[in-house]
Structure 1
Amino acid sequence: MSPAGELRWLCRIIDDSLNPYTEPQAFIPTSQKNEKEILIASSQVIRKIQLRIREFDSDSNKEELRGSEQHCSGHQCLLKILTKLVNLLTVKSEFVQHVAVNALVLISEFVFTTGNNWDDFIHFLCVSLEMAFTRMLSCLHENHKFDSPDVDFMLQHGLRSCDWSTVAGIVGVLRVICKHLKEDYDDELVKVYFDSVNSCLLKMPWNLLDECWSCDIASMKKGVTVNQPCLNNFSAMDLGSRFLGTFLQLLCTLVDRDNFVETGCDSANKHPLFVTIMNLVPRLVKWCLPKQEDSAETCISHYMKHKLLILMTRLGSLMCLDSSDYFSWLEILHSYFQELLLQPLTQFMSDEGDCLEGSPFLLTLSDGEAYGSSSSHLQRQAIFLLLDCSVNLISQRGSKENHSDFSTLSSCFTNNPDPEHDHLCIKKGLLELYKWVQEHLPSEVSINHENYSEICMNFMSSFLQLYLREDDLLFEVLLQLLSISSLQQQFGRKGVAYQDVKRDFPFDLSEIFNPFHLFHLFLSEIHYDHQVLLDYLISKDTGISCAKYLLRCMHLICNSWKLFVEFPSSGELLNQSSCKRRKLLGDGLQFVADETPSSVDNNGSIELNIKNFKADFKHRNIEQFKKAAECLLSLNNSIGNLHQKSLFPYNPEVLLRRLRKFQELCCQEKLFDGQKT
């Protein structure tokens, strides 16, 4: 059967099974009986399509069929198929809508597999989204004009009673297809998909949504009804739960790193879709997070914040943003996420045992009443984005390549010839960092304070404990903190912008985020367990960022050995219990760092026992340095053994060289009683 014949077969199947429920005049209030009938009929269609796809996959002539007769009568047939399935999304039943979404996703696979024009299918789907979205808001603008010749057919044959769940359903179909693209399809199809979605987003009448949002907020503030026909179709709660949540999911999927790689582009800026999404961010924040006190919407508000922060973070990692974007995002953070930025870093050290760790829907109970409490997950996201915006503003004259070691989310600004603009950006970035840190330090803190070092250590320890609970952000934020120290050295303490900010604060960021102290604290928080570090390094989620962080730290340590060795004592701080330990095995045993670590050199494994330190190190924190050295030498041994057996997931030679250099420095300083490798 030709590709066009396959479409005619599908059209006939849908007509025979679903025609009574998909014709515009057939829509009646959904009862339990006809809901069951629709579900049975829809499920039968899905099973037949699945069987047809399997049969076609086994057809030896399928390659000959693809590409032939793609534009016969298939165009009109495909339009008819899609319109009927989209009509099912207008049925007032979440179960029917769920099945309709699955059917549309499956039809996308069917169209691609049978060699029909998948481009047309995606185009029609985007047109139906634009049309359904506009019809939902048409109470304000009845005369909205569509520029697609296929819209007349859709208007004639369906979408006459759509609501926000219909719009959300179409968005959901686009999202699932996008997720499938990175798994099964080639780069060209991804490009077609991105082009179609971008064209759709550009045509969507967002200004109508702005007007409806303004009407709804005005009515709530004044306690009166404004533009009642419009508000019957639109409310902040309905919009948030039925459309915006799904729309945010789609946008986050579109800017997923894996999807971006599939496009084959060298830079995200080469595709206009990312620019379109970037321009939508301020509106999305306004729609998703209206400034109102409504405890009933707390859970949804937390979810919206979660998705918005993910979207902004991913955009920042993929795009070359300019300073105005970072200024805008900082304003958004302070307007809508300020409570997250100001929450004590230790507030969520004990999460509820009956809640998933980091869930954006986390609620706590007090006196029998539920009240919203932003989870530590949201707090981590908001702080991460604040650090990212600040660091990128400070480093705005460099390129992404030049600053890739500083931060995985560095911007790629071109050189700006305006020194006043550069000064403004650097000052703004530094000011944001200083102000945020100041909010989390005691009010009496100063460089001359007798407990200044301990205060700095406590702040960094609390900061680390917050991020140790979310591994995928842990090393990204550690790299950001390293970049802060590097950038301050790059500009120098005599820089005008630095001095303008520093004189107004009684502490120094270089002390707060001292990279050597931070690394010691990090090792302390994981209990100096080299197996935990090894887990991080071989993890699919944290491996790359962990390796980057360790390489940077080993480079700093080897170049500034005394600063690492002379780690100051911090009292009881480093003896505090941390959440990050090696997981228990079934027999209850626990992996811990080797007490007698061994090192690996080119001649094989040689045991190196760490003994007592020489007397000239009596003023240093001997115990903490000993534990750190044991951990790193044990890590060197473990990585070396795995690499020799070809069991390490990637080539760790660079890291091994840095670790062996660390080992040599230990021996050159004669920190061990006559033990040398």
Structure 2
Amino acid sequence: MSPAGELWWLCRCVDESLSPFTEPRAFVSTSKENEKEILIASSQVVKKIQLRIREFESSIKEELCSSEKHCSDHQCLPKIVSKMVNLLAVKNEFVQHVAVKALVLISEFVFATGNNWDEFVHLLCCSLEMAFTRMLSCSFENNNFDSSDVDFMLQHGLMNCDWSTVAGIVGVLRVICKHLKEDYDDDLVKVYYDSVNSCLLKMPWNSLDECWNCDVVRTKKSLPVNELHLSNLGAMDPGIRFLGTFLQLLCTLVDRNDFVETGCDSADKHPLFVTVMNLIPRLVKWCLRKQEDNSETCIIHYMKHKLLILMIRLGSLSCMDCSDSFSRLEILHNYFQELLLQPLTQFLSAQGCLEDSPFLSSLSDGETYGMSSSHLQRQAIFLLLDCSISLVSQRGSKENHSDCSALSSYFTNNPDPEFDNFRIKKGLLELYKWIQKHLPSEVSINRENYSEICMNFMSSFLKLYLHEDDLLFEVLLQLMSISSCLQQLSGRKDVAYQDVKRDFHFDLSDIFNSVYLFHLFLSEIHYDHQVLLDYLISKDTGISCVKYLLRCMNLICNSWKLFVEFPLSGELSNQSSCKRRKLLGDNPQLVADETPSSVDNNGSIELHSKNFEEDNEYDFKHHNIEQFKKAAECLLSLNNSIGNLHQKCLFPYNPEVLLRRLRRFQELCCQEKLFDRQKLE
């Protein structure tokens, strides 16, 4: 059957099954019994479409008995979309769920059968615009709708839409976006991004601002929204559902992991992402409004989580510039400041329980709140570091100079007319001021225990992120970038850096010492090479972990003395962490070898240290040498385990580059007088 014939079949299928329930005003007086009938009918449509897709893909063509057409070809898609969108207005979550699933399947069907998928996406976006506009009782005059689409859609539906309808259409667009990114085509992605961007630009956001900035209950009579809509808005649940789904869609749109070419220089330069960035201040205000009207802690945390995720992902785009970093920082300080000021170790005691764990029930409400709060705290701090490093590291563009200069007097007491100086100062001040809040007030470089204070801060920072593997190595890489930038600024005696540094009694270079951070990281995982191996073979952390280890091994080999003389002392030397050795899956072949034994015919390695208390040849403290010895044993054991797994073709990717760095580390250990050279060779 031709593509047009397949589309006509789909139109007939939807029409015959759902016409009794999708006529205009069909849902004014729906009963529970009617909702059950609707659910059955819509579920049957889903099954028929699934079967038809399988038949089409396997080239099994089914001849239809009747040749009568129910609508002309150009009306098929509008009629199908309008009927399915009408189902989203049914006050039944199961019907709405099936309607969303059906629309996603229709998208797949239209594409598979070679019909006009571009028009389908356009109609979805058109439905979203009209439903949103009708919800707020706005005029269509300022919207650039295709007139025939508007007339048809208004004639065949969208009469009883509410926030559930709007949320449902947004949910459909999100699922389609996810499917596109799983098996994308450049042209399809561009069509999708263009349509969504056009839709977002035409939405009456100002009207929503006015609506949600009012007290719905007290100003019910004065709002230009009919009573049906007001009752739904007053309950707030549908509005929250829309906002949550909308945040999900935006996060999916800017998922950095799977961007593709979209007609611009790259996907991250598509105008859609600028549109999303400009929506963030509004999103924050809407979430705060919903927070005031809802006592559900989990909903509040979810919205904050999505907002932070969205801003973090936007920060990774190359199209985001200095002004965007300033914007994100302003939002962070205005609406998430309490997370930045929260003590780093406040909620660590409750971190042992996973979400939905049976042990969670034994925690108090305050402890449960603390677990969610720590998650948000990690995201907020990550965003602060991301914005700061982007300002310190990037070269400023002159077109942004006026915008940033206008803000300079707000952020520093000594406004600098030079854009780059101001940008660097702003980034450094953000880092210094945040760290200052978490250090003792009397901290000073000349203080006797200054090094220990810096170590304690770094240790608390690491402990916070050890509970979230997804962010752990991302933030460690971030800290290495900060350290690298600080070295460059110090090396060229940057004026902005020296000006900021002079105003504080501690040095960022001491806080973000990458060699010491790596030592502390190994200490927090108890120098267990199998924990590192777990990270390396994990699909979630593998890439970021190997990046971090490669950079650390290169840094260590170039800063060998600093690595050997690591000054771990005091309370840190006796601290323990929650990270323990884990089995590497059910396959016994994937279990890494234990710490290698002495060198023998098999090439195994063991470190042998001398009696440090009796050896006065080296001016090292006993605990320093012990920490170096533990770190070296961990890394050499890791080298041995990766090598064995790679030899057996059991490592999930080619680790040759990492193995070369580890072998270089082994060579330096051989040259170190602290160890028995022959035992290492």
- The 1:225–1:6 alpha-carbon spacing in structure 2 relative to 1, beyond 3 Å, is closer
Tell me, in whole angstroms, the C-alpha distance in 1 between the residues paired with 2:125 and 2:671.
67
Is the CA contact (8 Å cut-off) linking 2:553 and 2:662 kept in structure 1? yes
Report the equivalent of 1:29. 29
Tell me, in whole angstroms, the C-alpha distance in 1 between the residues paired with 2:522 and 2:675.
21
C-alpha deviation, 1:534, in angstroms: 1.4
- The 1:184–1:599 alpha-carbon spacing in structure 2 relative to 1, beyond 3 Å, is farther
- The 1:431–1:362 alpha-carbon spacing in structure 2 relative to 1, beyond 3 Å, is farther
Report the equivalent of 2:411. none
C-alpha deviation, 1:496, in angstroms: 1.9
Is the CA contact (8 Å cut-off) linking 2:466 and 2:579 kept in structure 1? yes
Aligned residue type for 1:16: E
Cα offsets for 1:155-192 (capped at 9, x unmatched): 11100111011000000001111111122343322222
Tell me, in whole angstroms, the C-alpha distance in 2 between the residues paired with 1:172 and 1:136.
17
Tell me, in whole angstroms, the C-alpha distance in 1 between the residues paired with 2:629 and 2:479.
24
Is the CA contact (8 Å cut-off) linking 2:566 and 2:628 kept in structure 1? yes
Tell me, in whole angstroms, the C-alpha distance in 1 between the residues paired with 2:306 and 2:80.
33
C-alpha deviation, 1:491, in angstroms: 0.9
Report the equivalent of 1:228. 223
Report the equivalent of 1:619. 620
Is the CA contact (8 Å cut-off) linking 2:136 and 2:208 kept in structure 1? yes
Aligned residue type for 2:650: L
Report the equivalent of 1:425. 423
Report the equivalent of 2:374. 376
Tell me, in whole angstroms, the C-alpha distance in 1 between the residues paired with 2:220 and 2:534.
58
Report the equivalent of 1:39. 39
Cα offsets for 1:105-132 (capped at 9, x unmatched): 1111111122211111111111101110
Q: Partner of 2:348: helix, strand, or coil?
A: coil
Is the CA contact (8 Å cut-off) linking 1:182 and 1:258 kept in structure 2? no
- The 1:200–1:629 alpha-carbon spacing in structure 2 relative to 1, beyond 3 Å, is same
Report the equivalent of 2:302. 303
Structure 1 stretch displaced more, 663-672 or 285-294: 285-294
Tell me, in whole angstroms, the C-alpha distance in 2 between the residues paired with 1:362 and 1:278.
39
Matches within 5 A, 1:214-613: 214-216=213-215, 227-230=222-225, 232=230, 234=233, 237-238=236-237, 240-261=239-260, 267-290=266-289, 296-351=295-350, 356=355, 365=364, 374-397=372-395, 420-492=418-490, 494-583=493-582, 594-596=594-596, 605-612=603-610
Is the CA contact (8 Å cut-off) linking 1:597 and 1:637 kept in structure 2? no
C-alpha deviation, 1:237, in angstroms: 3.4
Report the equivalent of 1:54. 54
* TM-score when normalising by structure 2: 0.87
Is the CA contact (8 Å cut-off) linking 1:610 and 1:672 kept in structure 2? yes
Tell me, in whole angstroms, the C-alpha distance in 1 between the residues paired with 2:599 and 2:355.
40
- The 1:240–1:22 alpha-carbon spacing in structure 2 relative to 1, beyond 3 Å, is closer
Structure 1 stretch displaced more, 443-452 or 154-163: 443-452
Is the CA contact (8 Å cut-off) linking 2:459 and 2:520 kept in structure 1? yes
C-alpha deviation, 1:240, in angstroms: 4.6
Tell me, in whole angstroms, the C-alpha distance in 1 between the residues paired with 2:554 and 2:368.
50
Tell me, in whole angstroms, the C-alpha distance in 2 between the residues paired with 1:451 and 1:357.
42
- The 1:635–1:355 alpha-carbon spacing in structure 2 relative to 1, beyond 3 Å, is closer
Aligned residue type for 2:436: Q
Cα offsets for 1:444-487 (capped at 9, x unmatched): 22112222111111111111011111111111111111112111
Report the equivalent of 1:408. none
Tell me, in whole angstroms, the C-alpha distance in 2 between the residues paired with 1:668 and 1:366.
55
Structure 1 stretch displaced more, 632-641 or 185-194: 185-194
Report the equivalent of 2:13. 13
Report the equivalent of 2:412. none
Tell me, in whole angstroms, the C-alpha distance in 2 between the residues paired with 1:598 and 1:651.
27
Tell me, in whole angstroms, the C-alpha distance in 2 between the residues paired with 1:142 and 1:297.
35
Q: Partner of 1:228: helix, strand, or coil?
A: coil
Is the CA contact (8 Å cut-off) linking 2:170 and 2:245 kept in structure 1? yes
Report the equivalent of 2:631. 628
Cα offsets for 1:183-212 (capped at 9, x unmatched): 234332222211211121122122222222
Tell me, in whole angstroms, the C-alpha distance in 2 between the residues paired with 1:671 and 1:264.
59
Q: Partner of 2:131: helix, strand, or coil?
A: helix
Report the equivalent of 1:413. none
Q: Partner of 1:393: helix, strand, or coil?
A: helix
Is the CA contact (8 Å cut-off) linking 2:190 and 2:263 kept in structure 1? no
Is the CA contact (8 Å cut-off) linking 1:583 and 1:591 kept in structure 2? no
Tell me, in whole angstroms, the C-alpha distance in 1 between the residues paired with 2:396 and 2:533.
33
Q: Output the aligned Cα RMSD.
A: 3.1
Return 5+ residue gaps in structure 1 as ranges: 63-71, 400-417
- The 1:123–1:642 alpha-carbon spacing in structure 2 relative to 1, beyond 3 Å, is same
* TM-score when normalising by structure 1: 0.87
